[in-house]
Amino acid sequence: MKCLQSQSHSPDSFTRLASFICDSDEDEPFSEQDLQLIEAIETQFQSSASASGSASSLPKKRPFDPTHDHDHSAATLDESTPQSKRRLPESLIALQHPNAFSLSPCQGRMRLPIFKFSGRIMYSRTANEVEKAVMDLLKTLEEKKRDMAQIVLGFDIEWKPTFLKGVPPRKAAVMQICSDTSRCHVLHIFHSGIPQCLQLLLEDPTVSKVGVGITGDARKVFKDYNVSVKGVEDLSFHANRKLGREPRSWSLVSLTELLVSKQLQKSQKIRMGNWETRFLSQKQLDYAATDAFASWYLYQVIRNLPDTQEVAADEGSQGEIVPQK
């Protein structure tokens, strides 16, 4: 943790302190030097609040004196006894609130709620398990076709990365398919291969497969397993069409933040991990399922957005002056 070095307690100190609070690790204890500066700034903050007639009355604290024994009981503790961590005073923690002051360093880094799949993850790793899972999924999709004009699947794949120059990419190891909020299938195709029923689903053009960069994923599946994934739709294309912005290549993270104001966590350690392992860990399963679910969910959000052409037409019609007869 990098502590503040400045001994000046001007109004800018509050902004620097807020940035310090935001950037520090909440599990790391504060040093005595940190606490001295914090106590001094807090004292000035309380004094200025009282002088300006602030409604909140905060009790003043004495400046921290390292030579004074503030806690006599602490001196009697055995050295082996773990000591509790020193925490920030409540009045300074309040500085992190976006409505307390105009602290752009803190406000700009406010963490969004985590976007995560909360349904049931169906993990299959053998050929028999994958075949059974896909047959169950096909049955569910047939039932949905009775009530829905379009069947959409969130789709993604994972593979073990290579870090040596000149070494070709590894085969796609995991395939994720999500059709709703309740269940996501994580298929360990590195061990199971692609059974015929899964091939039929992937090659069915009437079932849309959606994702970010999904055309690249489809090419890799064809190269690795000689299976053509049909009915693919890229979320970037649909987002650009509906948002009316300059065309860009969106990431799943940026689309999640923009459209639903949530944070999609993409741990590099998990993403670049060993997807060819005998059994996937729970963190890998969560990561894989959430990616496929995010693709499915964002497609629903984008599809329900009005077309930019329709919005422009509506705005134009509202501005027209109808002549009176």
Encode pLDDT of 180-220 as tens digits: 999 999 999 999 999 999 999 999 999 999 999 999 999 99
Of 246, 209, 240, 249, nearest to 302 by C-alpha is 240
Average pLDDT over every residue of 36-51: 59
Confidence at 163, pLDDT banded by 50, 70, 90: confident
Q: Is 323 helix (H, G, I), strand (E, B) or coil?
A: coil
Quick: pLDDT tens for 251-270.
Answer: 999 999 999 999 999 999 99
What is the four-CA torsion angle of 255, 257, 259, 265, rounded to 10 degrees?
70
Residue carrying the six token digits 């609070």 = 21
Residue 235 has pLDDT above 90, yes or no: yes
Confidence at 246, pLDDT banded by 50, 70, 90: confident
Of 117, 148, 120, nearest to 133 by C-alpha is 120
Average pLDDT over every residue of 86-95: 44
Q: Where are the alpha helices (DSSP H) in the chain?
A: 12-23, 32-51, 72-75, 90-93, 104-107, 127-145, 189-192, 196-202, 214-225, 235-243, 252-260, 268-271, 282-303, 308-318
Average pLDDT over every residue of 4-32: 46
- Bridge-based pairing of strands 151-159 and 207-211 is parallel
DSSP bridge pairs for 152: 208
Tokens of 219: 């090419």
In angstroms, the CA 41 to CA 96 distance is 15
Average pLDDT over every residue of 141-153: 91
Average pLDDT over every residue of 4-18: 45
Confidence at 35, pLDDT banded by 50, 70, 90: low
Residue 58 has pLDDT above 60, yes or no: no
> So what's the architecture of 120-308 in CATH?
2-Layer Sandwich (3.30)
Average pLDDT over every residue of 235-250: 88
* Secondary structure of 103-172 in HEC code, one letter for each residue: CHHHHCCCCCCECCCCCEEEEECCHHHHHHHHHHHHHHHHHHHCCCCCEEEEEEEEECCCCCCCCCCCCE
CB–CB of 256/116 below 8 Å? no
pLDDT value at residue 118: 94
Tell me the HSE value of 44 on the side-chain side, using a 13 A CA sphere: 14
Residue 177 has pLDDT above 60, yes or no: yes
- Verdict on whether the full-model pTM lies above 0.75: no
Tokens of 149: 């004009």
CB under 8 A, 24+ apart: contacts of 261-269: 261/112, 261/113, 262/112, 262/113, 262/114, 262/115, 263/111, 263/112, 263/113, 263/114, 263/115, 264/115, 264/290, 264/294, 265/114, 265/115, 265/116, 265/290
Q: Is 77 helix (H, G, I), strand (E, B) or coil?
A: coil
What amino acid is encoded at 163 in this protein? F
pLDDT value at residue 46: 59
Domain with CATH 3.30.420.10 in the chain: 120-308
